[in-house]
A and B are shown apart, each in its own frame.
Chain A
Amino acid sequence: MSSATARRGALGSTGTARRAGRPRTGQAAVGRPGSVWALPATVFFGLFALVPLVATVWMSFVTWGGIGDPRFVGLDNWTRIGQDSLLLKSIGLTVVLVLLSIAVQTPVSLLLGVWAAGQQRARAAVVAIWFIPLLLSSAAISVLWRALLDPNFGIPGSAPWLFGDGNLFGHQGTAIAVLVFVSTWQYTPFHTLIYQGGARGIPAVLYQAASLDGAGMVRQFFSITLPQLKNTVVTSLILMLVGGLTTFETVLILTNGGPGTDTLVSPLYMYQKAFSSFDFGGASVIAVALVVVATAISLIVVKFSGYGEMRSQAEGV
């Protein structure tokens, strides 16, 4: 369809739309809405999401301290940030956190999701309780766990045989473990739900055939359930990766990057650069890098898993 027709359609729907209702060709029974219908949302999204996104790229080339006018400095921010050893450390920590979260959450939510796909009434009740963490804000969850794991008044103090000196936030290893645990606590229900949906879509006849062939439960899981859930796994992985890369308030509230800078993940480092050091240019460099990495990872996962071609199969699920 030519753009001229599109424009006419747009004009037609703004005013009284006199002609639009008349059937033209056999296809269009009611006139089609013109592009004007999409305009308000597009303008709004453009102003408050796309323009700022482009502005982030621009700001990575300027120096600005929060007041006064930004000044163009070319690639200075990029070369400076490239040599920043703390940034490298934060990237490493982010990668470790994301990978650990995936390694813990994927098997747990996969098994829980497959279990929840069953039909008994009790399961629905259990799932309803599992679900609660997902309703709560990251802020509330982080404050809750910070309080429950408090070195003096929390759970670790009453179980020294398990937690040693009880100061989980005082050592890098345990601080990372806390972050992984809390994000698992918060997001496992979400991924369980995704896997539940996927598992419900597996035709029961596959399992019937497998049991006739004498395949046991474990064998069925690895030969039927897992392969059938391939697309679901990819969806869940992408969401974990992108979500993990941008984890912010959990770290801010639970550890604030500590002890020292031992849990300073990149999003938190970016925030501190901007709003504690007032180095908005440097922060923008990290922001641009985050977007690029998140998008690239999603694209790579989609490409190598053949998820793109499998789309139609996923639609049926």
Chain B
Amino acid sequence: MTTRPNWIAGTLAAIWLAVVALPLYAMVTATLQTRTGYAANGPLSLPFGDFTFSNYVDAFDTGFAQYFLNTLFVTVAVVLVVLLLVPPLAYAIVRSTSPLVRGVFRVFLLGLAVPAQAVIVPIFYLISVAGLYYNLLGVILPTAAFALPVCTLILSGVMRDISPELYEAMSMDGATPFRAFFRLVLPLSKGGLATIVVFSALQAWNGFLFPLILTQSDDTRVVTLGLFNFQTQYGVNIPGLLAAVVLSMIPILVLYLFARRALVQGLIGVGGK
């Protein structure tokens, strides 16, 4: 099947390549032009006439550095919460014989279907009652909670592949579940751990809804909200706006270059399997 020429799909593949690549090209060239140059030449022109980096400098001047730090803080915190909570849960799901744990797993499976929109009103209420409204912690907690079901599903799938013989071998030196977890299960689940790190990091990095309703001030603004804000304030300055968009993409694209496998697996999460 692999060598059969498939012209219909092949043509579509080429078209799709253009559909994806052209806008990205237009985006980058726009950011390298001055506003007047862009207005005169249009979005598909080459940036030869008035090449400039000033749009990127401007983006930083309008507070983007702070937004980056905030997003980074949220992302690291969410990943830490996920790494702390998911491995023990996945281990229990795979190894425990308790019916309680089976019930818990079912709850997490149902949790997969709950969209974030469904809870924003009470979460807004809870966070404002708890006085976390001007605090990034208010964003971190629900973002992490909504990353748990998929991460649990991914990691328990990986842990299920550890063969029972290995547990038996460990029993020779009287290993406890605790010891088996650290000496056997975690080292053998490295791929799965990388996947859930990437998945939760992307969720946090690209998150929009929770920051939108749970933060208001400039010093708690995250990158995605910063972009939204830029658009409403400086919508006419397209090169400047797109420079901010490019900046927001760079960290993930760098990650994509170096950790494509883990990233792809993290992205397809539950759907791809």
A residues neighboring B (CB under 8 Å):
1, 3, 5-6, 9-10, 13, 16-17, 20-23, 29-35, 37-38, 40-42, 44-45, 47-53, 55-56, 58-59, 64, 70, 108, 111-112, 114-120, 123, 126, 128-140, 143-148, 150, 153-155, 157-158, 185, 188-190, 193-194, 197, 202, 204, 207, 217, 235-236, 239, 242, 245-246, 248-249, 252-253, 267, 270-271, 274-275, 280, 283-284, 287-288, 290-291, 294-295, 298, 314, 317
Given contacts A1-B97, A56-B119, A155 and B44 within 8 Å (CB-CB): yes
Closest to B263 in A: A135
- The main secondary structure of chain B at its interface with chain A is helix
Interchain CB contact under 8 A, B16 and A32: no
A147 and B230 alpha carbons, distance in the complex (Å): 12
Whether the pair B81, A32 counts as a contact (CB closer than 8 A) is no
> Beyond A115-B10, A153-B43, is A21–B175 a contact (Cβ under 8 Å)?
yes
Given known A-B contacts A153-B238, A274-B120, A284-B121, A298 and B208 have beta carbons under 8 A apart: no
CA gap between A135 and B206 in the complex, in Å? 9
Pairs of residues from A and B, 6 with the lowest C-beta to C-beta distance, nearest first: A137-B206, A55-B122, A48-B145, A29-B168, A37-B92, A115-B9
Q: Could you tell me the dominant secondary structure of chain A's interface residues?
A: helix
Which listed residue (B149, B223, B242) contacts A147, Cβ 8 A?
B242
How many of B's residues come within 8 Å of A, CB to CB?
Answer: 115
CB-CB under 8 A for A248 and B26, given A48-B145, A134-B267, A135-B253:
no
User: Any chain A CB within 8 A of the CB of B57?
Assistant: no
Interface check B233, CB cutoff 8 A: no
**Which residues from A are CB-within-8-Å of B39?**
153
Complex CA–CA separation, A38 to B23 (angstroms): 46
| A52→B119 contact, CB < 8 A | yes
Asked if A13 contacts B177 (CB within 8 A), the reply is yes
B46 smallest CB distance to A (angstroms): 14
Q: Find out whether the CB atom of A32 lies under 8 angstroms from the CB atom of B177.
A: yes
Evaluate contact between A49 and B17: CB separation under 8 angstroms.
no
